[in-house]
Amino acid sequence: MKLWAGRFQKDTDKKVNDFNSSISFDMRLYKEDIKGSIAHSTMLCMCNIISKEEKDQIVNGLNGILEDIENGKLEFDLNAEDIHMFIEEVLTKRIGSAGKKLHTARSRNDQVALDIRMYLKKEIKEIVKLIIDLEKVILAKAEKNKETIMPGYTHLQRAQPTTFAHYILAYSVMLKRDIDRLNDCYKRMDEMPLGSGALATTTYPIDRNITKELLGFSKITENSIDSVSDRDFVIELCSCLSILMMHLSRFSEEIILWCSSEFSFIELDDAYSTGSSIMPQKKNPDVAELVRGKAGRVYGSLITLLTVMKSLPLAYNKDMQEDKQAIFDAVDTIKMCLSVFAPMFETITVNAKNMSKAACGGFINATDCADYLVKKGMPFRDAYKIVGKIINYCIENDKYLESLSQDEFKSFSNEFDNTIYEAISLITCVNERKVEGGPSIVSVQKQIKDLKEFIKLKVES
């Protein structure tokens, strides 16, 4: 019999029962539900609403249920309506009438709001740890490739010279922002809703701050109606995860390009690539492709959540049950992607020779050639036009800037002398870009130092 069945004279239709049930996916909240119930019963006792004996029975019973679930001795009843009802029913069977007092001054509305906040707070910490693991991999690769010159791109066209370290550190900065966003989201999630009841609290003399302290929240929610009808924190988390997935997808796209025969900048480890069922020569970047593809899955969860909540009146509505599958799937997808992406990138082989060869083509030192003239006193726009003409000359004669003779340079401007070759060498082009944030060894070393300090700070916090 349903715990709410007193008002009803008919049993729920089986199809409705199956349609209404959420235990198939909210059973993962069992630990949070039990911890929340232990704190709630403790608070009820401290406020003299239930006796110490009843509280002890409830707490011991709940701890026994938790232990049995985790040891596999107690299986979830998929016929139960939800995880809250399942645990309360098992508790009541085990300890009798004291179990029936657990739900005093509480509704499933504030109970589930508590459980989901507790669960997602825990998951944010796990996701941040996984991002830090990836940051450590990027850091190690960057430290080994500070002098590995490669072309940088705009519009996927070779643009200016940079280094592999400088390139991948761009992703480390994106991931830093992801961590900060998640931690910021955590702060707003860290509000304790229990005690709000169905929507208008309770007439019992409870103390919500006791429950807050017992559960380790930083504050209690401000308004009881908002407490049970708010899912901003779920949507915000899914938004943060969507941005994170976008960054992983962009990084994956780079890897997919780099390991292609057309680039051959890197080679994937055999353990993180697959073959073809028909083409024996193939080595496919399936991990990176799947990460790229799963970004759409997380975006879909965000759209689901926004759509579910977009027109709900206050307070709780059953529509909100749909929040869990969406956010659970987003969290699971992110964790799975991060856990495989980091070791995939860690085990790549960097082909510095091919990167350098690609950097020698495409006139990526053209800007430096123009800057050479500017430093001689020529206006930049004039220098730009002259170098443009030099590039056309090189294309027509199948030459590179570095291969031109001094006489050829002087045919375009008398400002050129033999110092032009040093000025347009790729090593000079990179290391003269000493502006903070740039690709020079000096600048990259600072970026590496900043990343080390960031990782250390986040690991210790």
Q: Which of 185, 189, 150 is nearest to 167 (CA)?
A: 150
Find how far residue 300's CA is from the centre of its chain: 15
Q: Give the active site residue among 97, 155, 261, 461.
A: 155
Strand partners, 267: 349
Cα four-point dihedral sign 396, 400, 405, 411: positive
Rounded to 5°, angle at Cα 323 from 320 and 329: 165
What gap in Å lies between CA 383 and CA 395, rounded to an integer? 18
Alpha carbons 158 and 167: distance in angstroms, whole number: 13
Contacts of 128 (CB under 8 A, 6+ apart): 179, 182, 183, 458
Q: Are 113 and 217 contacting, i.e. CB atoms less than 8 angstroms apart?
A: no
Residue located via tokens 């080679």: 267
Q: Which of 316, 279, 322 is nearest to 300 (CA)?
A: 322
The sign of the dihedral angle between the CA atoms of 49, 53, 58, 63 is positive
406, amino acid identity: Q
- Name the DSSP letter for residue 216: T
**Position 32, amino acid:** E
Question: Are the beta carbons of 30 and 83 closer than 8 angstroms?
Answer: yes
What angle do helix axes 232-258 and 286-309 make, rounded to 10 degrees? Answer: 160
What is the radius of gyration, based on Cα positions, of the chain?
30
Question: Annotated catalytic residue: which of 51, 218, 260, 276?
Answer: 276
Residue 322 CB neighbours (<10 A)? 16
Question: Is 247 annotated as catalytic?
Answer: no
Q: Give the angle 454-456-458 at the CA atoms, nearest 5°.
A: 70
- Alpha-carbon distance of 363 to 369, in angstroms, equals 10
Q: Give yes or no: 155 in active site.
A: yes
Which one-letter DSSP state was computed for residue 203?
S
DSSP string, 260-289: STTT-SEE--GGG-B--SS-TT--B-HHHH
DSSP 64: H
Active site residues: 155, 276
